[in-house]
Each structure stands twice: as C-alpha cells, then as structure tokens.
C-alpha cells in the first residue's frame, strides 16, 4: 500500500506535466528551491535536499491551483485515471493569465447546424484559455480567434448539437473539405465547403440526411464566408440546467 508521501509525490509529478516549476512556486508563493526539492523527490532524484510534501504544503497546492480539497492525498492512479493525467483546473474570471497564455472570447451567439440556419442569444458565458505554443503550432492568428456555440444536427456527429467551435475570423479562402462559418442574409451556419467548376460553392453538411446546397457563381453575392473553423469541442452529455 502506498504511503501518503508517495501519493502526494505522484500527484505532484502529475502537476509538473501541467505547470512549470516556476509557475507553481509563483502561485503558492514559495521559493523556487522548495518546489525544486519536491520535484527532485517526485522524480526519485538522488539530489541532496529533496523533501516530501507536508500537510500544510499539500493544502496550499490545492488552494492555489484550484484543486479539490484533499486532491493531493488521493491515489488517482487507483481510480482508473490515466497515468500522468491532471484534472481540469477551473479559474475565476478575474484571475490573470499565465505567461504564454491568451484568452479567446466566446461570443454569446449560437450558430446553426440544422435545417434552419439561425442565430440566437446564449445565456451562459464562457472564456477559453489557450497557450501561445498551441497557436504557433497551427499557424493561427491569435487576435482573430473567436468561439461560438453550435445548435442543430446537420453536422452531427462531427460537430454535435451544443458544441463549441473555434473560428479564425477573416480566413475566407476556401479549401475543399474544410469547415467554415457562413453568413447567408442575416443567418449564420457552420458547414463544409467545396469549390465548383464554375467558381461557385457546394455547401455540405456532415449528416448524410441533409442534402448539399449548390451556390452558382452568379449567386455568390448572397453568401459570405466569415472564417475557418479550426477546432470543435463536442459535448457528449446534456446540460443539467
């Protein structure tokens, strides 16, 4: 059976996969040397001065990193959690961004992915934090990224009802088979786009029960490509309220 010291060190090692040592030290307002001592012990390094995590420090880590109370004392590997997995960390809207992070706004607008293309207000408000490393990896324009919520089943299950999408606004050059945010009159939707031989467009849903919409070149003035969808976050459960 694992000791409490072993459990805490394993959990701290998991946290090191989510945060840099300096960031942990800043959040708990402890010296870099103390965090290094925990890290050395967690990594089973023979470095002199390595130490275990005491009760006070365990509670401080939980409070500072928005972890559940006694999270440091529970053996998460025994509960079916993947080794090295770190729980999602909630944060207060007023909490400052970490170094290397950006805040992507989520507009209170629902875009359509159903029979009726539409927009409507969203009651909930969300913010999404991304690392700049993620932005650079995909060559995205950070200042053009916006999140929208999707309603409808025409893109199901590729983008399911209630999911969030990240859109790089202003990226309008159509690449066959990519997903875009479209405006048709005052209505907005998310669809696959393909170019036609006559420079027109084919608007396609993922759900095979939804027929393609063909937009000839002479009718392109009625449709506007607003941006490219670069990510979707599918919700697999229903909201409880």
Q: Is the pLDDT of residue 28 over 70?
A: yes
Written as six digits, the tokens of 9 are 């060190």
DSSP label at residue 136: H
101-140, pLDDT tens digit by residue?
Answer: 787 877 655 666 554 444 444 444 566 778 888 888 889 9
137 in helix, strand or coil?
helix
Distance of alpha carbon 238 from alpha carbon 87, whole angstroms: 21
What's the rounded Cα separation, in Å, for the pair 191 and 171? 15
Q: What is the pTM of this model?
A: 0.60
Helix (H) or strand (E) holding 55: helix 55-64
Alpha-carbon span 95 to 103, nearest angstrom: 11
Chain segment 58-99, per-residue pLDDT in tens? 999 988 877 778 888 888 765 555 555 555 555 555 667 777
Helix axes 4-16, 55-64, angle to 10 degrees: 30
| DSSP helix/strand/coil, 150 | strand
170-182 burial string, b = 16+ CB within 10 Å, else e? ebeeeeeeebbbb
């Amino acid at each position: 059976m694992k000791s409490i010291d072993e459990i805490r060190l394993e959990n701290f090692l998991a946290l090191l996969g989510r945060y840099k040592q300096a960031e942990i030290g800043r959040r708990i307002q402890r010296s870099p040397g103390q965090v290094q001592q925990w890290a050395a012990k967690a990594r089973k390094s023979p470095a002199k001065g390595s130490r275990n995590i005491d009760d006070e420090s365990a509670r401080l880590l939980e409070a500072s990193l928005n972890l559940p109370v006694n999270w440091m004392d529970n053996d998460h590997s025994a509960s079916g959690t993947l080794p090295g997995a770190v729980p999602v960390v909630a944060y207060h809207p007023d909490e400052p961004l970490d170094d290397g992070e950006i805040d992507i706004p989520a507009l209170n607008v629902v875009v359509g992915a159903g029979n009726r293309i539409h927009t409507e207000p969203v009651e909930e408000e969300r913010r999404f934090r991304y690392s700049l490393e993620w932005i650079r990896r995909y060559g995205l324009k950070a200042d053009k990224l916006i999140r929208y919520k999707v309603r409808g089943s025409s893109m199901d299950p590729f983008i399911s009802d209630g999911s969030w999408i990240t859109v790089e606004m202003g990226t309008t050059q159509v690449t066959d088979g990519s997903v875009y945010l479209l405006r048709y009159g005052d209505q907005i939707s998310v669809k696959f786009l393909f170019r036609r031989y006559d420079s027109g467009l084919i608007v396609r849903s993922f759900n095979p029960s939804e027929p393609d919409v063909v937009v000839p070149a002479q009718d392109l003035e009625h449709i506007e490509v607003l941006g490219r969808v670069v990510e979707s976050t599918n919700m697999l459960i229903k909201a409880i309220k």
